[in-house]
Structures are given as structure tokens and as C-alpha cells.
Amino acid sequence: MLQVQNISFAYADKLILKDISFQLPNGSHLALIGESGSGKSTLLKAIYGLLQLQGGEVSWNNKKVLGPNFNLIPGENYMKYVSQDLDLMPFTTVEENIGEHLSVFDQESHAARIYELLEVMQLLPFAKVKVKNLSGGQQQRVAIAKALAQEPKILLLDEPFSSIDQFKKNGLKQLLFPYLKEKGITVINATHDPDDILPFAWLTLVLKEGKLIDFGPTKSVYNNPKDLYTANLFGEANKIPLYFLNPGYYIDRPIIVYPHELTITQNSPFNVKVEESFFKGSHYLIKAYHETDLPVWFLHKNAIIPGTNVFLKATAKSLAERISKTHAKDYYS
């Protein structure tokens, strides 16, 4: 089990991580999300042992991770960290990069291991190509394959698909993440992409200004976001006073509502004026405003003429639990 206990870290006088604590069972997959500057990359570096913590500790199966004050070469050998600054040898081939740190005492299995990773990362056609001749996205895939070569217990990924073309990205995830699950590798993936999170991550941790503001099963974090900040990390979201949706609610608290949970109806207490329609393929994302200047996002099958007034209602069953939680003190404060 990976245990992160009350860790804090500062650059000069600026505190970047503030009392972060969580535990990960072996073989689990955690999505680490938050806006740019929230501390995601710093947290990965702290877990890997690249930083000397001001407080707290990180341990794996009760073995403490030591920082640079204790290790001549920072980082633990049972972990691999794939950063946005790729650690590759540009003048050697893809297969040479992947095999760089494989044991000299097990030469017979090298070729099979390299082939396996070339296949998983969709790099077979580039095995003999020098890394300097690859695109940025291809180099990212080589870096991940290189990190996996020695079968680490923990894989730390920092925006691992940011330079990969969209058409290649989806297929790669569908190969890589099930492969990591099969191998029992614990994964922490720092990402901005909801498509990295919802289909693959068992757990999600939300960072804001260096603080942990939510942690739990991904479905729970998505279905019951603590605030609009968390909900917006999955895409557009709304924070709507309950009495706008139903005058029968006399609670002066808002509720988080995703665009797909609002639909147009013939009549309702919630009336908005459409400003713009954004084509999303199978539907349109509609931006509108309530008379109080509250921005509202909802989905519709067709574009709507700007200036049109429409009535909206919240229909999703999942809202029931969210509504009940508005009774809890400070839930949406």
C-alpha cells in the first residue's frame, strides 16, 4: 500500500503542498486532477522522492520513501516517474531506449520484453527509428514504455498523453491502462483530460492551491462534487440555487448540475435566455443566462437561436442524492 501522510512542501517561502494525506491499495489507479498550478506535478515528485519534504512522509508497504538528502540519486527503484521533460536518449533507437536499464544478467528475455512494450505502446513500426526523429507524441510513448521496462510497482504519470494526437490517444489508453491493471501496477495519473479519468481511474484526488479537497471513488467524486471547482474539472458545470429549479425548496443553497442533467420543458420556474450554441457532434452545448446573470450550460439536440427564452428542468435521478446533501452544513459553502 502507498501511504501519503500529512506531507507539505514549499519552494522558498511559498507553500506548494499543504498537509496532503491519502492511501492507495496496491494495483489501484488514481487520477490526480486540479487546475494548473494546483500542485499535481509537485505531488508526483514528492511521492517519487525527488523533493525533500518540510513535513510528513511517503511510504510503500511500510518502507519510507527517502528524499534527496538521503539518496545520492533521488527516486526509488520500485517506482518510475514519467514527467513532461522526457528522459530519453535522442541518438539511439526506440528499442534501445526501452531496453536501456534491463538487467545484463537476463539477456535472453530482453527481446520479448521490448517487443511486448512496443506492442502495448503502438510503437512496433518505430522500433529501429532514432528517438530524435520521432514526433513529440511518439517520444511520450517511448518514455512510458521505457518506464515500464523494469516492471515497476508504482507508475507516476504527469500529463502522459498531452502531445499525442487525439485519434491515437484513445486507442493507446484502451491498451495501456488494462495492461497496467493486469500487471498489478499502481498508477497515479496527473491529468486535465476527463477521458483519462472517468473510464479508467478507480479513484480520483482533487487538488486546489496545494490542498486536497476531495478523494474517493471516481464515480462518487463525479456524481457528488464538493463544489463547482471540482465539477468543472470534468467539463462545464452549473451552480444553481435550489429554489430556481423548484420553488418548493426553501433552502438558500445552490446545487451542482451538469449540462446533461438539464432539459428543455414546456414550463418551469427556471427560465433562461440562450446566448450561444456550440456544436459537439451528437448534440449542442448551449450557453444561456438566467435573469440574475447566472450563466447556465445545458445540452440540446439542436442549435437554438440566440435570444430565445427556454424553460429548463433538472431530470437526472442522480440529483436526488445531491439535493439531500444540500441539507448538510457547509456542503456547498
Share of the chain above pLDDT 70, in %: 93
Name the grid cell of 139: 517520444
Question: In this structure, what CATH number is given to the domain that contains residue 55?
Answer: 3.40.50.300
Least confident of 61-75, 114-128, 142-156, 186-200: 61-75
Note the pLDDT tens digit of each residue in 46-80: 999 999 898 999 999 989 998 887 776 777 889 99
- On whether both 170 and 148 belong to a single domain, the answer is yes
Q: Is residue 215 part of a domain?
A: yes
Alpha carbon distance 51, 66 (integer Å): 9
How many other CB atoms sit within 10 Å of the CB of residue 189? 27
Q: What domain range includes position 150? A: 2-226
- On whether both 91 and 198 belong to a single domain, the answer is yes
Report in angstroms the alpha-carbon separations of 179 from 27, 66, 103, 175.
Answer: 11, 29, 22, 6
Q: Is residue 331 part of a domain?
A: no
* Residue that finishes a domain, picked among 189, 207, 226: 226
Alpha carbon distance 233, 247 (integer Å): 29
Alpha carbon distance 290, 311 (integer Å): 10
Please report the pLDDT score of residue 247 as a whole number. Answer: 74
Alpha carbon distance 225, 204 (integer Å): 11
Alpha carbon distance 324, 85 (integer Å): 45
- On whether both 191 and 141 belong to a single domain, the answer is yes
* Residue that finishes a domain, picked among 177, 193, 226: 226
For residues 18 and 8, the answer to whether their CB atoms sit within 8 Å is yes
Q: Is pLDDT at 197 greater than 80 in this prediction?
A: yes
Give the chain's mean pLDDT: 89
Q: Is pLDDT at 333 greater than 90 in this prediction?
A: no
Q: Work out the pLDDT band at 293, boundaries 50, 70, 90.
A: very high
- On whether both 124 and 249 belong to a single domain, the answer is no
For residues 150 and 80, the answer to whether their CB atoms sit within 8 Å is yes
Q: Is residue 333 part of a domain?
A: no
Q: Is residue 231 part of a domain?
A: no
Least confident of 97-101, 282-286, 293-297, 317-321: 317-321
- On whether both 44 and 100 belong to a single domain, the answer is yes
Q: Work out the pLDDT band at 108, boundaries 50, 70, 90.
A: low
Question: In this structure, what CATH number is given to the domain that contains residue 317?
Answer: 2.40.50.100
Alpha carbon distance 89, 58 (integer Å): 30
Between CA 248 and CA 254, with CA 253 as vertex, the angle to 5 degrees is 95
Helix, strand, coil content of the chain in percent (nearest 5)? 30, 30, 40
- On whether both 141 and 213 belong to a single domain, the answer is yes
* Residue that finishes a domain, picked among 180, 206, 226: 226
Mean pLDDT over 247-267 rounds to 85
Q: Is pLDDT at 330 greater than 60 in this prediction?
A: no
- On whether both 27 and 137 belong to a single domain, the answer is yes
Q: Is residue 241 part of a domain?
A: yes
- On whether both 136 and 277 belong to a single domain, the answer is no
Least confident of 35-49, 159-173, 281-295, 301-315: 159-173
- On whether both 245 and 220 belong to a single domain, the answer is no
Q: How far apart are the first and last CA of the chain?
A: 33
> Cell numbers 471547482 label which residue?
229
Beta strands in the chain (DSSP E): 2-11, 14-24, 29-33, 55-60, 63-64, 79-82, 154-158, 186-190, 203-208, 211-217, 238-241, 254-257, 262-265, 270-279, 284-290, 295-300, 309-314
Mean pLDDT over 121-148 rounds to 92
Alpha carbon distance 284, 207 (integer Å): 30
Buried b (16+ CB within 10 A) or exposed e, 88-119: beeeebbbbbbbeeeeeeeeeebeebbeebbe
> Closest Cα partner for 228 from 266, 270, 186, 258?
258
Angle between helices 166-183 and 136-148 (to 10 degrees): 0
Q: Is pLDDT at 329 greater than 50 in this prediction?
A: no
How many domains are contained in the chain?
A: 2
